[in-house]
Amino acid sequence: FFTYLLPAGALHDIAAGAQHVLFLTDLGIFVLGSSTYGQLGLGPTYRRTRLPAPINEFCITNENYVKIVKIACGSYHSLAISEQGNLYAWGWALHGQIGNGNNEDVFVPQRIDFFDGKHVVNASAGYSHTIGKFIIQNFGGLFCIYEN
């Protein structure tokens, strides 16, 4: 059904969690499914959407939009990497997998300050963790975010 909503070729990537889906398109990120823990990134009042909905911060119709080049989903959290190499995360945070230093659910995309000065190039997520790769100057590094 999604191809009826977008021009052909506009869909670049799809990521799926346990109850939600992210679509990376020419227009930005669209989400679909459950948002019990905020994993859709649409704010605390949205608990579910049956049709793809844009995340405003990552939508080209927003004059201050952030261009996203990579998306990933954990079971109940979501990740996005911007063109500038910033990591954004939102959703379920019980095990610290968001990376913002606490375990409170995040209902809108949040840039993770820990990666300031680093260029995140890849990220992946599981049930209660986030992993990825970043570059500092000419050196690469790996990261894993979880409850220790």
Please give the model's pTM, rounded to 2 decimal places.
Answer: 0.91
Lowest mean pLDDT among 58-62, 114-118, 120-124, 137-141: 137-141
pLDDT digits (tens, 9 = 90+) for 63-79: 999 999 999 999 999 99
What's 92's DSSP letter?
Answer: -
User: What is the token pair recorded at 75?
Assistant: 């079971």
Residue 4 has pLDDT above 90, yes or no: no
What does the CA dihedral 109, 112, 116, 119 come to, rounded to 10 degrees? -70
Q: List, in order, residues 6 or more apart from 31 with CB less than 8 Å away.
A: 20, 21, 22, 23, 40, 41, 42, 49, 52, 53, 54, 55, 78
1 has pLDDT over 80 = no
Who contacts 8 (Cβ-Cβ below 8 Å, separation ≥6)? none
Alpha-carbon distance of 80 to 89, in angstroms, equals 7
At 22-60, the pLDDT tens digits run 999 999 999 999 999 999 999 999 999 988 899 999 999
**Is pLDDT above 80 for 5?**
no
CB 79 within 8 A of CB 91: no
Chain centroid to Cα 18, Å, comes to 14
Q: Residue 148: pLDDT above 70?
A: no
For position 9, what pLDDT does the model report?
61
CA distances (Å), origin 56, targets 18, 69, 74, 115, 147: 23, 16, 21, 23, 30
pLDDT at 17: 97
Average pLDDT over residues 96-117: 93
